[in-house]
Structure 1
């Protein structure tokens, strides 16, 4: 297929299938978000996670789920996937594998960056893959709201996923596997930068993210939300307890 044909096909699929995600779908729902940090492992809470109305994961996480090795800890479903649409394994989200996603009951695939660069990535996806696959992004105002505290830095996909959920009308939110690089990655996620030191060095070298700003933004948002509706895994609980925010 010619370059012009790819361009036109991508443009048509983008217009047909690319939409802002409707977060009202989460209103009154029990939502679990499972990040890549090691705090999600050695918990035995996989069945508990699978019991939520929606299970949310980030980037390469479905590959870990697919192995089945950690299902006792992180469960088996991926209802909502936030993905960077960078398909490299080193720093992106890995190959978009729709057969794998189908086995995990994926309902919504979200490229959350609602800006020129993010939309370009989705356009490139539609040029590459001739599929009628719905792809969602964050509503423009929500994207601006969660990105504003980061100034000129690019948000990580995990940050966008976590913060957008905090601003939704869930009935219950369980957060695990997010430690803002204060602990290591879980095994199999990014083994080439598994330790927190290696991950921080990599982020510093790339120079587009500011994890401290993301952490402070999360803390500020957490203060404004009814904490009785949110359950943190023990590691994240201890991290923010040291900030004097949670008392129980």
Structure 2
């Protein structure tokens, strides 16, 4: 298949397979956990609670890095995976592996970056896979509202997940594993960036993300969230009180 035909076929697959994802509808009245990849996720034994919530949201490489020792801390249940649709292992979301995802019960793979960059990444996904795999893209208005909080660059995929949940009328929201890059990832997620200094250098080199700005916007979203109840892990409670 030459490049032109591959492009046309990928456009067809994308048109056929991608659906919109509206968190205002998806999350209303639900008990939800949003679990990030910071090592602080392992500081609480929320595993049983997480596994019994209505929806559990994880990010990027979470299914690849999970191991049974983590279940007591962060559970295993995963309903929705927010993913960059960049499948490289070093800085992207890791391979979109349907067989692996089915073991976790993942129902929806969501690309939260609904702009030209995100749309291109989504199209390239279908160029690579050449199959009608159902995926989702975040509602454009919600995606833009989150992105517009940043003058330069883009939010991280984890931040898109946090923000899109906090903007909804959820019944309860549990948040763990987000340290805004003040601590390393947990082991197994990105082991080449376990050192905090190296991780910060990596973020600076990418030139896309601003963790300090994400933290400020996170605080604003917490203050204004229409959710009925929000529960934070001990690390987040501490840095917010500080």
TM interval, short-chain normalised: over 0.9
Taking the aligned partners of 2:191 and 2:55, their CA distance within structure 1 comes to: 27
What are the Cα deviations for residues 103-132 of structure 1, in whole angstroms up to 9, with x where unaligned? 100111001100011001111111111222
Taking the aligned partners of 1:234 and 1:42, their CA distance within structure 2 comes to: 7
The TM-score, its normalising length taken from structure 2, stands at 0.95
Taking the aligned partners of 1:227 and 1:2, their CA distance within structure 2 comes to: 50
Q: How does 1:169-184 map to 2 (within 5 A)?
A: 169-184=169-184
Taking the aligned partners of 1:92 and 1:198, their CA distance within structure 2 comes to: 16
* Structure 1: gaps of 5 or more residues: 243-248
1:143 CA drift (Å): 1.2
Q: How does 1:1-248 map to 2 (within 5 A)?
A: 1-23=1-23, 24-65=25-66, 67-225=67-225, 229-242=229-242
* Structure 2: gaps of 5 or more residues: none
1:235 CA drift (Å): 0.5
4+ residue runs over 4 A deviation: none
Taking the aligned partners of 1:26 and 1:208, their CA distance within structure 2 comes to: 28
Worse overlay, 223-232 or 98-107: 223-232
Match of 1:137, SS?
Answer: strand
Taking the aligned partners of 1:139 and 1:25, their CA distance within structure 2 comes to: 11
State how many pairs are aligned. 241
Taking the aligned partners of 1:16 and 1:74, their CA distance within structure 2 comes to: 35
What are the Cα deviations for residues 116-167 of structure 1, in whole angstroms up to 9, with x where unaligned? 1100111111111122222211211111111112112121111111111111
The TM-score, its normalising length taken from structure 1, stands at 0.93
Taking the aligned partners of 1:204 and 1:38, their CA distance within structure 2 comes to: 20
User: Are the equivalent residues in 1 in contact too, given 2:170–2:228 (CA < 8 A)?
Assistant: no
Taking the aligned partners of 1:176 and 1:131, their CA distance within structure 2 comes to: 34
User: Are the equivalent residues in 2 in contact too, given 1:6–1:128 (CA < 8 A)?
Assistant: no
Judged with a 3 Å threshold, the aligned counterparts in structure 2 of structure 1 residues 240 and 205 are, in CA distance, closer, same or farther, namely: same
Taking the aligned partners of 1:228 and 1:168, their CA distance within structure 2 comes to: 10
Taking the aligned partners of 2:113 and 2:227, their CA distance within structure 1 comes to: 27
